[in-house]
């Protein structure tokens, strides 16, 4: 009976120690390991979290010219116009002849949507 009472006292004190935040002797420290490994790469090499977008990369002059020309050429309403785009560092020049003002405005809108901060130089002629 004496042993049973001693075992009960030890179990009760161990339970009380765990409830009060104390660990029993020989028990491992209960800490949560990091969920993700520490990233030791330079900040410029770290990945951007999926809920954030990367800052837009400025397109080169050649890329801007190619984008504008490709979209002008693929637009069915401007197919027969033959509009040409030439991009510079600070501007985009449009040349060619269109049949009406709506085609003219469409060509300008296409160029503006890909020119970025570049100024649009309008040299498009409208027939009639």
- Interval 98-109: pLDDT, tens: 999 999 999 999
CA angle 88, 54, 40 (to 5 degrees): 125
CA angle 116, 66, 48 (to 5 degrees): 55
pLDDT tens-place string over residues 36-88: 656 565 555 556 666 666 556 678 899 999 999 999 999 999 988 889 999 99
Whether residue 123 contacts residue 93, with contact meaning beta carbons closer than 8 Å, is answered with yes
Whether residue 108 contacts residue 122, with contact meaning beta carbons closer than 8 Å, is answered with yes
Handedness of CA 37, 41, 42, 44 (dihedral sign): negative
pLDDT at 12 (0 to 100): 66
**Percent of the chain having pLDDT more than 90?**
47
């Amino acid at each position: 009976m004496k042993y049973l009472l001693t075992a009960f006292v030890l179990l009760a004190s161990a339970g009380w120690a765990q409830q009060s935040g104390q660990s029993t002797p020989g028990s491992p420290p209960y800490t949560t390991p990091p969920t993700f490994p520490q990233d030791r790469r330079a900040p410029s090499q770290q990945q951007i979290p999926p809920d954030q977008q990367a800052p837009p990369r400025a397109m080169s002059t050649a890329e801007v010219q190619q984008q504008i020309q490709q979209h002008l050429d693929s637009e069915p309403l401007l197919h027969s116009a033959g509009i040409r785009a030439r991009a510079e560092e600070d501007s985009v020049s449009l040349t060619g002849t269109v049949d009406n003002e709506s085609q003219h405005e469409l060509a300008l809108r296409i160029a503006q949507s890909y020119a970025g901060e570049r100024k649009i130089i309008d040299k498009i002629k409208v027939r009639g």
